Amino acid sequence: MSDLAGPHLLIIPSEEFVPPHAPLAGIFQYHQALALRQAGLGRIGILSIRPAESPLMILKALLFRLAGRRVPNRLGTLSIPALLGRLWDKLFFPERSLTWDTVAGLPVLRISALYLLPPGPRFDPLAWRRAGRVAMDRYLHDQGRPDLIHAHNALSAGLLARDLARRHGIPYLLTEHSSYYHQGLVPRGLYPQVRRAVAGAARYLVVSPRLGEIMVRHLGPPAAHWLWLPNVIPPDFAADPPHPPPPTPPLRFLAVGNLLPVKGHDLLLEAFARAFPDPALPVTLTVLGEGPQRPLLEAMIQRLGLDHRVTLPGEVPAEQVHAAMDRCHVVVLPSRFETFGVVVIEALARGRPVLATACGGPDRVITEADGWLTAPGDVDRLAAALQRARAEAGRFDPGLLHLRALERFGPRRFATRLGKMVEELRPDA
């Protein structure tokens, strides 16, 4: 399908689209867009919204400037005339905050939005709608009318997509990734708006069946017709055949994820200590990621006597995650909850078996041919699973793991699934 013959798809993530200052933001949507482009699915554009400032923030910076004091926010480098101009533009000329960018050949229209009310889940959709309408007008002028919008997460891209559909008559897909509903982080007052956004979508997609069940539980009938569209293996993880695992000993476990309570790294450390109490045993664990639990995890490593076998290198770029998987024997996902768990399919694509908790997403990914599942939140069972993984890691063929992963979650498979929906919903189909 050529660019001229194919549909025109506009993708709207609910976070920025891989900006330079946060290259992991919007990364799932980036990988999906690459998969669609590689498959030749027509034209693809991105609308990237960043609610960044409020009038109060700018006024505070002005007052500090006038008082000759250091400005205590990120506007501290701006002069008084620049701050006045910024406030004027943000309030009355939001189109001046629009910039075009290109990411891996994909056109990205970015807008820095203004919070009119205090930032947070309750009021963020207001900033999104105001900025999104302005950005859409520019997009239509510069790129033409898309055939379809693909919004990611009801909050806030889905609410914006419904608004744009009503204003411009453009249908939209809505894919839900968020764990906020499960965690009780979505204000109840927003549920009516979310239900309308879900009900108005031409297709309502979820990244795992468990998430679909959760959304039905929270939203009721509007979410009942969900379809499962899994996330895609990143192209760089899928492109090359896997390396054979390194010789043993030691046997190397690897965990990848932000150092947050939901990721369960504290449970993993306790389980690792119970599974392998002998400090001379040639078994190691590396946890890649960064976050607020680092001090707790570092203290646990010392308390459990794991400092010679467990390392926390911090957050690393994707290519280093790729290399770390090639150097390990088993990837572990100890999460308390996951809507999907992209690290699972990344590891399988690199030919590594996965030990994961049955925490939502991995339940429908991991089979006996891929690794091991264990109960979330249970340290003893996780410890037993670690022992089993150490004993059985050698039974997996990296090439077969790689091929199975591509068949189920590879870029071509994803593009075929989504491309069929896009073609079905195209106005001239």
Tens of pLDDT along 101-152?
999 999 999 998 888 777 777 778 888 889 999 999 999 999 999 999 999 9
Judged against a pLDDT cut of 80, whether residue 358 lies above it is answered with yes
Provide the percentage of residues in the chain whose pLDDT is more than 90: 74
Q: Are 27 and 18 in contact (CB under 8 A)?
A: yes
- Please check whether residue 145 is in contact with residue 170, taking contact to mean a CB–CB distance below 8 angstroms: yes
Give CATH 3.40.50.2000 domain extents, the chain: 8-232+411-425, 235-409
For the ranges 79-93, 112-126, 378-392, the one whose mean pLDDT is highest: 378-392
Q: Which long-range contacts (CB under 8 A, 24 or more apart) does 224-227 make?
A: 226/176, 227/203
Q: What is the pLDDT of residue 429?
A: 53
Least confident of 63-67, 131-135, 262-266, 306-310: 63-67
The pLDDT value given to residue 4: 46
Q: 64 falls in which pLDDT band (50, 70, 90)?
A: confident
DSSP one-letter string for 150-169: EEESIIIIIHHHHHHHHHH-
Query: For 278-297, how does the pLDDT look when each residue is reduced to its tens digit (9 = 90+)?
Result: 999 999 999 999 999 999 99
Give CA angle at 40 (399, 28), nearest 5°: 60
One of 3.40.50.300, 3.10.28.10, 3.40.50.2000, 3.30.565.10 is the CATH number of 8-232+411-425, namely 3.40.50.2000
Task: Flag the least confident range among 31-40, 197-206, 326-335, 378-387.
Answer: 31-40
C-alpha span between 145 and 154 (Å, rounded):
22
Query: Which amino acid is residue 238, in one-letter code?
Result: A
Mean pLDDT, rounded, of the chain: 92
Burial of 92 (0-12, 13-18, 19+ CB in 10 A): exposed
- Which CATH class for the 235-409 domain? alpha beta
